[in-house]
Chains A and B, each alone.
Chain A
């Protein structure tokens, strides 16, 4: 039986696509990963279909490439690395299965976008833990599985946050639930017994979810996640702290993390802040010129029995800490940009065009982890690198995000570019692929997409060796997204 017929039998004719336009669309993304056309795109609607697909893939030796978010994609992880692959597009699995206000948790399928998620939570008095202004098509499950950082380090206890439990169909075809969701009982029985799938650890002596998270779809396909939410604040006070240099802001950032002060806490340079806040490309340059070189955005949220007092003491303590570091938290910058407006922008997905593409139509990212105190040397290195390759420093966005209660920091450089300008794109490609310079300085590429995977696994052969062993356990026939990471 032809492949298409077999797939049609599993998930129905309308959910199997193999027209050239569709295959073209799934063969490339915005990254520098080489385009490879899949043989088919399938859109399952339930977990049993996903399980049947994986069983079929094992029988036929067909590579499967899962994708949750809508286009455009930026990392290359959803582009097949080998011919003959079937892309499993999970966008039709888009149910918000449950929102539990009392236990501050929600359960969602992979196709749910941030916009849909935020609206559903809002009705129940909850709010999502947000990555930095995700694009409108971004899957919540995709973001959390990729370990994208959230803007509130105080609530980011572990790199896996805000992911809690998951249902995953491993590459061997076994349907599995992680953490306290594992059992006993069906989900309905668990809810009846006042369980809400909030304990991520286990079951037993393995943290299965950690093996799936960050795996770029190489271990299995996730069909739902339970995720931490926060209670929607009754009031929120936000501030912008301007500075000429990144270094000037770090004392305050570290103090806030050390005493668990505030909620949002992130640093943007003028370029990124302008891209997020400007209405369109024409406004980016004007706004950028009016902004200070770097801005720390911080907020304090009030919830619970005494929200006003919670905000009041935090605001007072933030002001004292800022003063001790020679800084002044402002409700609005001299140019008129208010902290509340920034807070509003950070609480939702990006408007169109996506903020990263607003300045020049395209953007490529370099990101890694370090510690807060080491960030200035990486910022300097990025601008030095750009200069050496002739890339305009004016087109570099900087985003510094403290993570895991401030014990580490996500560093992200957004290289704004014009995809029609071949010379410029060559420079950008050179910068992205030459990230070894940062690795040599101690940067940790914990999420190695595209060409970075070769770089990181060459540097850390032991980890690669043991990850390959793990792969044999959960995906023995190597049908899940082969060619990515070290597999």
Chain B
């Protein structure tokens, strides 16, 4: 259903004719991201979301976003903000929806070095922010998808785990200020911003509206559009500029003084997780996350052929239970402490640093990049089959993550045995530890399905749902995908105090005319 000409003209008046389009060729670009096929349970040739946006707009400022929302309310249109488009949650999910492409709002408004705060607009990419922050001895939290993704999107509206979470937390925990255009077009400046115009705290006065804005997962634009946020920055012990050698896609970093990159291995999940307890208790890493050796293999190789040859050597298999670590000290004493701790922990838990693995070209360097700004895995994980999906993830203790890993292995095995996914058992890939594991341990059992194969695609979504069911029946807990969207809520909410009922009320109260696309969140009450 196309927009009425009256509505289109009203929107065009706001952003100007050069910043609005309803051309199908342009709309296609807003109707596809990876993972779409499993969600649609569709064959590979069905690349696109069934509901294309009616139009795409490029607002240039907060006032324009507000005006657009008022038009949406007047004409019964829904909007959906589109950041850098990593995740299906960024796509229009229902008819009569317009996409707000935020790329014109791309400024780093401020980096407050003294108070370790950055104020950013929606289209500021993680990599862009990272290089500006390290000039000031600071760094932002990054999510796994890495440097090309919107920092604002992950912090305010989407997911939030990343390779450095052990010291940079979860995106939702790093928010210090928010400028939020509600679905109604009203502008909410949260916390200190609303009271005093300062960007240092988003909680209060009284109850925190951060709790409505997002939870473990974001609202994916279903409650409005975030036009500016302030985030917390973290220490950076390295130089003001990254130096590297080599060529794309495997640049090798010159690892700075007082920093080290290691891939540590253990003989089982249990031993590795025991080590994780010691690592976090000693607060001795700059960054560290569980990424099995196949993950590292994908990062350190330049092609599938190279990965296959490496796999044939057996180096990755013998280091299946791997944990990447970056040590980084602001002083000689600090780095010496970290090195000493790592050695002691490896000794106590039977872990090792495999010399053969470290000698593989790009092994140490790709681990370094991954932890600094994520993304390093992206070239590898898509290269195998063209896409990947994720099974159930419980986020609680390290022991719980260990339990979830075994469960992931078990669930995945029948599919792997049938040749529906690329990898082998035990290659349940990523996992992050938030805040030295004091607020949880995330694990992502990832699997590479073939988007050009209907059976593999169907298997991907089936395993997704199998794993949600298993998370409930086996008690792993709720996390990640089972937490977002109406379909997942229907399965999980009855087992979690009917949280869905409150979310539906929130949607109704904050968006009375459903002027924001509910896809990825929930329909109103």
B208 touches which of A159, A304, A472 (Cβ 8 Å): A159
Bound-state Cα–Cα, A304 to B277, Å: 9
Those of A173-203 within 8 Å (CB) of chain B: 174-177, 180, 182-185, 189-190, 192-203
A234-262 interface bits toward B, Cβ cutoff 8 Å, 1 = contact, 0 = none: 00000000000000000000100111110
Q: Does A228 contact B (CB under 8 A)?
A: yes
Please determine whether B172 and A207 come into contact, CB atoms closer than 8 angstroms.
yes
**CB pair B397 A206 closer than 8 Å:** no
The reply on B187 being an interface residue by CB < 8 A is: yes
Quick check: B438 and A198 within 8 Å, CB to CB?
A: yes
User: Which of A464-487 touch B at CB < 8 Å?
Assistant: 465-467, 469-470, 472-474, 485-486
Q: Which listed residue, B191, B438, B497, touches A183 by the CB 8 Å rule?
A: B497
8 Å CB interface, A392-406 against B: 404-406
Name the CB-closest residue of B to A452.
Answer: B205
Report yes or no: B114 in contact with A205, Cβ–Cβ below 8 A. Answer: no
Q: How far, in angstroms, from A234 to B487 measured CA to CA in the complex?
A: 49
User: Chain B's nearest CB lies how many Å from the CB of A92?
Assistant: 25
CB pair B439–A472 under 8 Å, yes or no, is: no
* Residues of A247-293 contacting chain B, CB below 8 A: 254, 257-261
Which listed residue, A193, A218, A447, touches B475 by the CB 8 Å rule? Answer: A193
**Which one, A175, A305, A456, contacts B341 given CB within 8 A?**
A305
Across the interface, B215 reaches (CB within 8 A) one of A175, A185, A207, A216, namely A207
Which one of A157, A316, A486 lies within 8 Å of B173 (CB-CB)?
Answer: A157
A261 to B484, CA, bound (A): 37
Evaluate contact between B215 and A184: CB separation under 8 angstroms: no
Partner of A180, one of B278, B330, B440, B503: B440
**Contact between chains at A462 and B187 (CB < 8 Å):** yes
Q: Does A104 contact B (CB under 8 A)?
A: yes
* Inter-chain contact A185/B475, CB cutoff 8 Å: yes
Q: Which residues of B contact A261 (CB under 8 A)?
A: 330
Q: 1/0 per residue B187-221: CB within 8 Å of A? A: 11111101111101101111111111011111100
Does B455 sit within 8 A of A, measured CB to CB? no
B186 at interface (Cβ–Cβ under 8 A)?
A: yes
Q: What is the chain A residue whose CB lies nearest that of B332?
A: A313
Contact present for B209 and A470 (CB under 8 Å): yes
Instruction: Decide if B466 is an interface residue (CB 8 Å cutoff).
Output: no
Closest beta carbon of chain A to B244's beta carbon, Å = 25
- Nearest B residue to A311 via CB reads B337
A419 within 8 A of B: no
Docked CA distance A370–B281 (Å): 31
Asked if A47 lies at the interface with its beta carbon under 8 angstroms from chain B, I say no
Q: For residue B138, which residues in chain A have a CB less than 8 angstroms away from its CB?
A: 258
Q: Are B483 and A198 in contact (CB under 8 A)?
A: no
A462 contacts B396, C-beta separation under 8 Å: no
Residues of A within 8 A of B503 (CB): 204-206
Contacts of B295 in A (CB 8 A): none
Which of B49-57, B144-152, B398-406, B421-429 lies at the interface?
B398-406
CB distance from A322 to the nearest CB of B (A): 14
Contact A204 B215 (CB under 8 A): yes
A225 nearest CB across to chain B (Å): 14
Question: Which residue of B has the minimal Cβ distance to A259?
Answer: B330
A212 within 8 A of B: yes
* A316, closest chain B residue (CB): B333
With a cutoff of 8 Å between Cβ atoms, the chain B residues found around residue A219 in the complex are 207
Q: Would you call A204 and B217 a contact (CB within 8 A)?
A: yes
Interface positions of B (Cβ within 8 A of A): 112, 114-117, 137-138, 169-170, 172-173, 176, 182, 186-192, 194-198, 200-201, 203-212, 214-219, 232, 234-235, 237, 277-278, 281-284, 330-331, 333-334, 336-337, 340-341, 344-345, 348, 394-400, 402-403, 434-435, 437-440, 471-472, 474-478, 483-484, 489, 492-493, 495-500, 502-503, 505-506, 509-510, 521
Closest 5 CB pairs of A and B: A304-B282, A210-B211, A313-B333, A446-B204, A202-B216
Show 23 residue pairs from A and B whose CB-CB distance is below 8 angstroms, ordered by the A residue: A183-B495, A184-B478, A193-B476, A193-B477, A199-B440, A202-B478, A202-B499, A203-B216, A203-B478, A204-B217, A208-B211, A211-B208, A211-B211, A216-B206, A259-B330, A305-B282, A370-B200, A372-B114, A406-B116, A444-B198, A446-B191, A470-B209, A473-B505
